[in-house]
Structure 1
Amino acid sequence: PDEYAYDFRVIWPDGTMHWLWVKGRVVQRFDTGRGRVVQGVLIDITDRKMLERRMERLSLLYATLSECNQAIVYSRNEGELFERISSAPVRMGLAAMTWIGMTNRSTGLVEPVAGEGVGADEYLRVRTGMVRQSSANSEDLVATAISQDRLVMHNIEFDGSGLNDAATRLGWHSVAVLPIRRRNVAVGAMSMYSTDPDFFDESLNDLLVEMMGDISFALDAFDEERLRKEAENELRAAEARFRGIVEQSVAGIYILQDGNFVYCNSRAASILGFDNAEALIGTEVAVLSGFAEAAEGNGLERLGDSAHESVFEVRQANGQLAHLWVTSASAEYRGRLAQIGLIEDVTALRNYETTLEEHLRAVEVLLQATVGVATSLSEQRDPYTAGHQHRVGEISVAIGEEMGLDPDRLEGLRIAGQLHDVGKMAIPSEILTRPGQLNDMERAIIQQHPQSGYDVLKGVPFPWPVALVALQHHERIDGSGYPSGLRGSEIILEAQIVAVADVVEAMSSHRPYRPGLGVEAALAEIERRAGTSFDATVVAACVRRVRDLGFQLL
């Protein structure tokens, strides 16, 4: 053709590679038709080509990161995670081959656990045979990445060593080795091989480090899940041991929920005039004259409230009158509020006053046991945040005191703070105790707890707006909160105070997916959001009380 345009690579005299683009036309030809004189331009486009190459690599790495995140979300165990992550760079075109090795605790050697790509099996066979070799090759890069806990990028050149020879024979010319951490300790490495020299360079550093963090986060999440299951198994074993003790107790033990007996031991059934526990379970408390009134008087007021005790006359199921002593407290049973109690037939005590003192001492021991049992049941739902609601109540009162609220309103703040998250009883425990980030569906379920808490509390005739605090404590004055997106004065003052206290306590305390960030970090966060998310007056009172006056977040 008379006109032409193309690009090509050349090696400069100094050994560097450059890209050139030429465009021209034939202005004179020989009689044979071959070009004799041409005219055109020649441009060095090396920078443009390098930029295009960099953009292409970044695009491949972003796609690989996305695949890795999908693997993290959907993998059910560590082995499946390694298989998916090792295949992602190869499927996305980022690497020709990828393999993952983990340190064997017994031997100290890095052993392959997953590999993907053309030549992976051959290379890993060679590597396994030479695992103890110590020469300048990519095996040393794996050791370096793990021992120094850092990303290593390297060009592979044939030097006669076994691993480099195998790599270059397979057409690989560069490698990136990412350390894999567990609990912040490097325990393995992921190696990615490319057919291009200089493919892995500093422009990819940040994204490769992000990939390292994502993989390590997933391993920590699997560890947390394993620990959670171990804790659940231990809890079930403890419950079985507890049930054995309860069944053999000399005191009657019962649980009331929704006006019915949902659990009792045989002693409780006998005291109330039933032949066995099965006959009492499912019975409405109203059928026992006297007991129903006493149970109502000791009713469900606050989760973890102090135990109530009373002695009253009851007509048993067999028609006989008896004097019963009952101590009870509010607790959580199978995810919902219930009343747990101890019961004793004290008819003999009424008749024989001379033995009253001895029996009362036994009753005191039983009372202490009841409080302990009630507290234990309350905290079994979510052990990671045990004490959170109590501390939020205390911080709320401190803020209210700093703002000059009267004692009655301060007591309401305490109660509201202690009950602000009661709606979380409606949330599955696997979501509450799950380490790591929640997905959109799980986050939506979590965000239902203010409404659930309000529904539980609205029927209780508190002299304070306790139910409204539960409903509004995640609202923000700029309308960015939930569940209703309320703004400014639409949110009651008590809810604004509890919202600040909730954030300060949560950030200061340990969670399964992160350590506590400390009081100063929490105060800095609410100061940053003062006037936008939080009322500035409430924030100022909190900061003054905690930072300036030394209030301790216990």
Structure 2
Amino acid sequence: MKQLTKELEEARRQLEQSHREWMAALDAVDDPIFIHDGEFRVLRANRAYQQRAGIPFKQIIGRPYYEIFPITDGPLPGCRRAVEEKRDNEEDEALFDGRVYRSRAYPVYGEQGEFLFSVHSLEDVTERKHMEASLVAVNARLSEAQRLAQLGSWELDLIGNVLTWSDEIYRIFEIDPAQFGASYEAFLDAIHPEDRSFVNKAYTDSVRDRTIYDITHQLLMKDGRVKHVREVCKTFYDEDGKPVRSIGTVQDITERKQHELAVERANRALRTISAGNQTLIHADDETQLLREMCHAALDAGGYRMAWVGYAGDDGDKSIRPMAQAGFDEGYLESARITWADNERGRGPTGTAVRTGRTQVAQNILTDPHMAPWREAARERGYASNIALPLMDGERCFGVLAIYDSEADAFDADEVRLLEEMAGDLAFGILTLRIKAAHQEHEQRLQKNMLQTVEAIAKIVEMRDPYTSGHQARVAHLAREIAFRMGLPEEQAQAIHLAGLVHDLGKIRVPAEILSKPGSLDEIEYSLIKIHPQAGYDILKGVDFSWPIAQMVLQHHERMDGSGYPQGLKGDDILPGARILSVADVVEAMSSHRPYRVGRGIEAALEEIVHGRGTRFDPQAVDACLALFHEQHYSFG
């Protein structure tokens, strides 16, 4: 009996020692831990729990934990499931004193499966929650920024061939994420069939050669639309030089491409008109005029074929070819085009003569009215066609027909400019026929050139509505300054033309920079500063009578060499450009901009007075001041 008592005492001592060690271990844990029974009453708790509860242990033991910490309306749902449904490792989140805790329940059962107690740990996850919320907000802002910039990001795991796209790329490609295979092959399948080989070669070459992958390619949408995107990526390699992943971006540049194409087409038409106007000025023979006008369409405009036909008053209502240039190969001889209301008269050419309105076949291969000529056109590479009536008042006496090698080649701006060219041609023909005065002829050409330049100028204003009218106001003021300085009318008109397009180069500046409602950073300002050179590049191929392109290039130069893009000084700057720089500063400072309110005309005039003789031409400054102070000039 004595021995048994001794053994029980030793067992009790060891049990107490184990209990102390166990509680010491629990107290060493920073997270609150407690043990409760089936009634959710606290049986044990570590020091971290007691500290969070803020009361002595004797006030904790035996009480339901949800009355102490964390305080809730009852047992946590996961805790209740652990007790009542024998669910293991249940988690809950509880809010206590402004902190978020993650509760985990670990129920313990007896040999017969009966519930004994449950161990709870409470982890403070407040900072983690804040970080997760911040990360969600950052990702949301990033996604919105990508949407606004139409710029998505991607990553390709080259080991597992797993491709990850941001939401914006799915929007750009117009693909449902659930339907996308998320592999390099699936990516290639989403590219325009014409560009797949090119894209694949460019990427694989960049991986092999360890160069930056930077290309532009097309996407073909399900409805037949074509998008243009720019892709840039960098590939990373392991220590053995094996490629492991590529990270890159995709930007939708369709709008930019469309603007570039619009400018290119308008510029093409402008070159054609300019060449045509030169032909009109020098022509003294109708046959020569028709032939050279057709050549102007090819040589200056780059079209595939052009011809002029006259409408006959015979019974067949035939259209007789008078001149042609380009790739014909017997097309006109076999075409047998009429302006009668029958199958061979319902194409663009016959309809233009019959109705007196411009007609366009944007796709010869699919236009039903082009059926009689479709095969012959396909063989000769004609994809689209425009027919421009030559009018004498209300009567159409002929037609100018132009063919291009690309479908959808004639947009609204180009059609409008070509209509002006056809109007010029018709006028030239009639002028030669009636031997009209040369002065009237020159005035008509000058008017058409002005209208053409104004049409091109509108392209910039369409992208930068905040400065709408700026070019026209600068042009008008510059012309008045030129008159005040005593320059000849012809030179003053040339300065006016240059003023109308002095900011044409802004077509190549991102629209979001032009309309940014705040100060520009260094990179953005450097992009703005390219516009004089960009405008010059667009206009330099046009044969103006005056150095319009050079004036556009130099309108931000300053007399002391502080301007751009060439840093010219003094007399190296054209007189017209010096006048434009004064007019540009006065109008810009006095007008409102997205990033500031207008400073008013007096502040603008003070600015040019301050720069007189240093940055600005003194004669131009004096003439401008006289206009406002003596002649009471104002912007209309």
- TM-score normalised by the chain length of structure 1: 0.39
Query: Whose Rg is larger?
Result: 2
